[in-house]
């Protein structure tokens, strides 16, 4: 009776499909934004875009937008089944015939979405020059400077305030951290004697994040390798 009256396995699949589509939708949103003219971080291959019906120069990231939109179908199918199940008696009820349409639609939607999304990702170009220029903005190295001060026995609360003052100084002087020299450091009362801040580059910031699961190049490569092995073993 319990087996005949259960649709938990279908509900669990629909939940996993909806969750996967939700993650893909967020990923698609990033692709849409980063592909825009304002960001220009990436370029999607023309085969995964369409032109505008009125603006000849426009290239629409259609696949990413469709993926983002189709997440609503998967979420809707989960809600459909949960609503069907919520008021039924144990065991079999004719209401349960409604599980088929939701299940088959989510299977098809997720399968096709994963297939085309993977192909689109394989044909994306990263505009590395633009990304490098953007990394120079926003004082991303500030946390590393604060951690450097902590290693010189300065409490983080004080280090945080010192670096905040440094950032404000750079904004007023239209400087980035690599532009800061010894005279600048003296002017703001930087507590550790340095010739400049040239050691605090984006590349060094990345390399320093070398703890397990960190963002360093070596850790990134290790995690990619592990992910590939995991996927291979699932086959």
Average pLDDT over residues 157-167: 96
- Give pLDDT tens digits for 165-203: 999 999 999 999 989 999 999 999 999 999 999 999 999
Tell me phi and psi for residue 125, to 5 degrees: -105, 130
At 228 the pLDDT is: 94
If we measure between CA atoms, which residue out of 21, 32, 44, 184 comes closest to residue 108?
A: 21
Distance linking the first and last C-alpha atoms of the chain: 35
> What distance in Å separates the CA atoms of residue 98 and residue 191, rounded to the nearest whole number?
70
Could you give all domains of the chain from N- to C-terminal order, each with its CATH number?
8-127 (1.20.200.10), 136-200 (1.10.40.30)
Dihedral over Cα of 138, 144, 145, 147: its sign: positive
Q: How confident is the model at residue 17 (pLDDT cuts 50, 70, 90)?
A: very high
pLDDT in tens, 20-40: 999 999 999 999 999 999 999
pLDDT for the residue 47: 93
The percentage of the chain sitting over the pLDDT mark of 90, rounded to a whole number, equals 84
Averaged pLDDT of the chain: 94
pLDDT-based confidence at 1, cuts 50/70/90? confident
pTM of the model: 0.84
What is the pLDDT confidence band of residue 123, given thresholds at 50, 70 and 90?
very high
Summarised one tens digit per residue, pLDDT across range 39-57 is: 999 999 999 998 877 887 7
Distances (CA, A) of 185 to 162, 174, 180, 194: 11, 15, 7, 8
Q: What's the confidence (pLDDT) of residue 69?
A: 96
């Amino acid at each position: 009776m319990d087996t005949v009256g259960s649709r938990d396995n279908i509900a669990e699949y629909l939940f996993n499909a909806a969750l996967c589509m939700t993650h893909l939708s967020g990923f698609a949103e990033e692709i849409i934004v980063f592909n825009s003219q304002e960001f220009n971080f990436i370029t999607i291959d023309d085969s995964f875009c369409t032109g505008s019906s009125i603006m000849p120069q426009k290239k629409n990231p259609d696949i990413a937008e469709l993926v983002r939109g189709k997440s609503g179908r998967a979420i809707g199918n989960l809600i459909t089944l949960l609503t069907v199940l919520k008021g039924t008696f144990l065991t079999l009820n004719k209401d349960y015939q409604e599980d088929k349409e939701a299940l088959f639609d989510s299977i098809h939607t997720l399968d096709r979405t994963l297939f085309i999304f993977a192909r689109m990702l394989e044909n994306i170009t990263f505009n590395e020059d633009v990304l490098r220029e953007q990394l120079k903005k926003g004082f991303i190295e500030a946390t590393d400077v604060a951690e450097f001060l902590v290693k010189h026995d300065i409490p983080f609360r004080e280090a945080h305030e010192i670096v905040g003052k440094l950032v404000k100084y750079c904004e007023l002087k239209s400087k980035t951290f690599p532009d800061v020299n010894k005279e600048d450091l003296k002017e703001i009362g930087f507590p550790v004697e340095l010739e400049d801040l040239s050691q605090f580059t984006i590349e060094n910031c990345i390399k320093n994040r070398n703890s397990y699961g960190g963002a360093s190049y070596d850790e990134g490569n290790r995690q990619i390798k592990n992910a590939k092995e995991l996927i291979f073993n699932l086959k």
